[in-house]
Amino acid sequence: MSEIRVIKKYPNRRLYDTQKSCYITLNDIRSLVMSYSDFKVIDAKSGDDLTRCTLMQIISEAESSGQPLLTADVLQEFVRFYGDSMQAMMSRFLEHSIKHFMERRAGLKSPLNTILGANPVSLMQNIAEQNMDSWKSKNIGTPKKHRTIS
């Protein structure tokens, strides 16, 4: 088992990799994520865990350049879930959905799918339907629709 790599974040917003004994950038942290390296970002002064905030910063930068992954509508719905009674349930649902998607990801990338002419849109729709079936089977029910204020 490998030891978790510690990145210290200083008040001047610089990131210090304690394993390499050098300063690094957000792009370096993105590379750690992409290589499946275990790490955590801590505040150098307080010791608070800043890993999630740092990952959100990487996502924010990626969203503002190129083709965004999250639409404005999806982000608005996320904002609405904070503080809502369904927040914890939504968090579990998203985590379950992402894990399920990652398990199926290999099938989406398979050369056999290309040869057989698999339609990526229908594959994605199938995954979404399976997620909803799994959600319903846990007797949690379907999320209620939000009313639109006009």
Tens-digit pLDDT profile for residues 34-65: 999 999 999 999 999 999 999 999 999 999 98
Domain residue ranges in the chain: 5-64, 72-137
Residue that wins the pLDDT comparison between 78 and 133: 78
Tens-digit pLDDT profile for residues 87-124: 999 999 999 999 888 888 776 666 655 555 555 566 66
Residue labelled with tokens 């505040």:
43
For residue 147, pLDDT over 50 is answered with no
The three-point CA angle 75-52-38 to 5° equals: 130
How many whole angstroms separate alpha carbon 8 and alpha carbon 49?
A: 10
Please give the model's pTM, rounded to 2 decimal places. 0.69
